Amino acid sequence: MKEQFQWTGNHMPKSDDGFLSVMALSEVAKAGAFHRSFPQYEVTPLAALKQRAASFGLKGLYVKDESYRFGLNAFKVLGGSFAMARYIAEETGKDVSETDYAYLTDGQLKKDFGQATFFTATDGNHGRGVAWAANKLGQKAVVHMPKGSTKSRFDNIAAEGATVTIEEVNYDDCVRMAAREAAETPHGIVVQDTAWEGYEKIPSWIMQGYGTMAEEACEQLISLGVKRPTHVFVQAGVGSLASAVVGYFVNRFPEQPPKFIIMEASAAACLYKAAVEGSGNPAIVTGDLETIMAGLACGEPNTIGWDILRNHADCFVSCEDLIAARGMRMLSAPVKGDPQVISGESGAVGMGLIAAIMQEEAYADLRKELALGADAEVLMFSTEGDTDPERYAQIVWDGAIAS
Q: Which residues are catalytic?
A: 76, 123
Query: Quick one: CA dihedral 298, 387, 73, 356, positive or negative?
Result: negative
β-partners of residue 48 are: 62
Tell me if residue 72 falls in helix, strand or coil.
coil
| 204 closest CA partner among 286, 100, 298, 96 | 96
Ordered strands of the 315-319 beta sheet: 5-9, 315-319, 259-265, 231-235, 377-382, 60-65, 46-48
φ and ψ at 382, to 5 degrees? -90, 95
Query: Quick one: CA dihedral 380, 122, 293, 65, positive or negative?
Result: positive
Give dist(CA 231, CA 358) in Å, integer. 13
Tell me if residue 15 falls in helix, strand or coil.
coil
Tell me if residue 100 falls in helix, strand or coil.
coil
Q: What is the maximum alpha-carbon separation in the chain? A: 64
Packing angle, helices 303-312 and 270-277, rounded to 10:
50
* DSSP assignments along 148-209, one per residue: T--HHHHHHHHTTT-EEEE-SS-HHHHHHHHHHHHHTSTTEEE--S--BTTB-HHHHHHHHH
